[in-house]
Every structure is written in C-alpha cells, then in structure tokens.
Amino acid sequence: MARLIAQRLFNSAVSIALVSIALFLIFELSPETVAADALGQYSTREQRDLWLAANGYFEPMHVRFLDWVRRCVTGEFGQSRLYNRPVSDVLGPRLAASATLAALFFSVLIPLSLGLGIAAGMREGSMLDRGISFASILTTSVPPFASAVLLTAIFVFWLGLLPGTSSMVDGFRWKELILPAAVLLLYDFGYLARITRASMADVMQTAYIRTAALKGLPDWWIIFRHALRNALIPPFTVIMLQINWLIGGVVVVEFFFAYKGFGSLILEASLTHDLFLLQACTAVSVLLAVGTQTIADIGYGLLNPRIRVAAAK
C-alpha cells in the first residue's frame, strides 16, 4: 500500500513539475508582454526596460525559471496591480469564500445524489429509476450559466423570494449562497446519481448479494453491510474528481451572482491582465485539481481490495 501511495505521489509531483514548466513558458516566455501587463499599455519603452531589468527579466532562462518555482513554492507571487496589494493577501479570503460555497454544495450533493442513486440502483427499471434517468438528462443539458439566469428569473424576478446577487455587501448571509449553490447542484446531481445508480445496479446483480438474500437476511442489512461497501467506490472517485469541474462551475456562478470568491478572482485577473494574480490563481487551481486527483487515486486503492493487493505484490 505504501508503494501505491508513493507511486501516486510521485506521478502527481511529475505532473505538477510539468505543469509549472508549461505555465512558465505560457506566461513568461516573452518578457515584453509581461512588462506591458505590469505597467499598463500606456507605458513607454524605457519604462518597460527599466521594469524588466529591476525584476530580473534579463537574467538567463534557467535562473528565471528557478525564480518562478521559488515564487510558486513560497507563495510570494508579487503585487496585484488590480488590488495594489500582495497577491497572497487577495487570494486568501477569496479562497475561503469559495470553500464555503463548495462546502454547502457538497453537503447537499452527496446525500442527495447518493440517496437517489442507491434507491434507483436497488430496483432497476422502476418508476423512480426511470424518473431519475430522465431528470438527469434534462438537468445536465442546462448549462450552469443558463440555469443561473433561469433560477434568477423565477426566484428573484417572479417570486421575489431570494436576493439576486451574492456580493455579501451587508456582511455574510446564508440566503445569498442559496442560488449559487442551487445552480451548481442542478447541473451536477444527476451525473453523480447516475454513476451511483450504475454502480449499485452492478453490485445488486452479484452472486454474494444473491447469497445474502437467499440466507434470508433482511433487506436493510444486505444494503448496508454488503452492497454499499462496494457500490460506493466509483461515486467516491467521481466526487473527488468533481473539484476539477467545480472550479469551472464556480467561475460561472461567482461571476453571475457577483460573489467575491476564487472563481470570480481568476476571471477578473484574466480580464484586467493582472499577470501575477492570474499566475497565482492558475497555480492554485492546478494544485487543487492534481491534489484531489491524487487523493481520489489513493482512496480508490484503499477502498478497493483488488487494487490494494495488486499494489502490494
């Protein structure tokens, strides 16, 4: 098992190293545009050259690359032009805000989707099963930006029940988180429910479940003691891999509802050409994506005895 973990961690480290090289090439290959981004488009040629010299851009490539790695590792990404503060000061609160939204999202998504998926998978072909399949095709067809508009039209414009923006100007209010979380949920719950359903349906057809049923064990015992253990392995992996998707969803809802989180920050950084901020946001998002993927891989190994044993050999 230790070998499996070490192997996965090594793979992730290689991924991150490759990504950091790619990011360095994308962002810093032409110093001219970096200076233009940092000083604004009305800066003169002399100003840009002075700035480039002062920030070490005339150093050789490998020195600059090591410097970029150092900045990534220490978190000193430089000064945000947009906010006129160190990037890390801007990033912290925004990440916390998005984490709150993500926590609300997962705390509803997991019980809802797993519950529906298990219920549907227990009785394949039942009304509930067909209903969930149909609902999930429908909801995964509505892009998050569209459901944001549609839900706002219904709950804010027509019913007047919820606030239409989530800028939290009067301090933190849970009410303002409902619509952003609902948009993310609407798009995603059907997908996770379908994965759970398929996995549950597979497990219910295995010989050991039939054996348990023939022994006369009660249904709830079969489900909880025997079926769920194996049926929940694929959904676990999928939940961890949702982070990659969630970052995209979060950009959309935070932009639409003016929520001051990580997603809207990365978009602001891109649209205003705030390079250091964009570098930091990109680095953080890749770290999040690779990190959760690694956890998913390792967790899958821990949960699945077949992989655990194969890795031990």
Q: Footprint of other proteins on this chain (CB under 8 A)?
A: 15-16, 18-19, 22, 26, 137-138, 140-147, 149-150, 152-153, 156-157, 164, 244-245, 247-248, 251-252, 255-256, 266-267, 270-271, 273, 278, 281-282, 285-286, 288-290, 293
Q: Which is nearer to other proteins, 232 or 259 (CB)?
A: 259
Q: Which is nearer to other proteins, 1 or 154 (CB)?
A: 154
Residues in the chain: 313
Q: Which is nearer to other proteins, 11 or 55 (CB)?
A: 11
CB of 276 to other proteins, least distance (A): 13
To which residue do tokens 């150093």 refer? 59
CB-based contacts of 121-124 (< 8 A; 24+ apart in sequence): 121/196, 121/197, 121/198, 121/199, 121/200, 121/201, 121/203, 121/204, 121/231, 122/200, 122/204, 122/223, 124/201, 124/204
List, in sequence order, every residue forming a beta bridge with 80; answer none if it has no partner: 85
Q: Which is nearer to other proteins, 271 or 310 (CB)?
A: 271
Give burial (CB, 10 Å; 0-12/13-18/19+) of 95.
middle
Q: Which is nearer to other proteins, 21 or 312 (CB)?
A: 21
Distance CA 55, CA 67 (A): 11
| Max CA separation in the chain (angstroms) | 85
Q: Are 52 and 35 in contact (CB under 8 A)?
A: yes
CB of 205 to other proteins, least distance (A): 15
* 3-class secondary-structure state, position 158: helix
CB of 134 to other proteins, least distance (A): 9
CB of 230 to other proteins, least distance (A): 23
Q: Which is nearer to other proteins, 69 or 228 (CB)?
A: 69
List, in sequence order, every residue forming a beta bridge with 86; answer none if it has no partner: 79
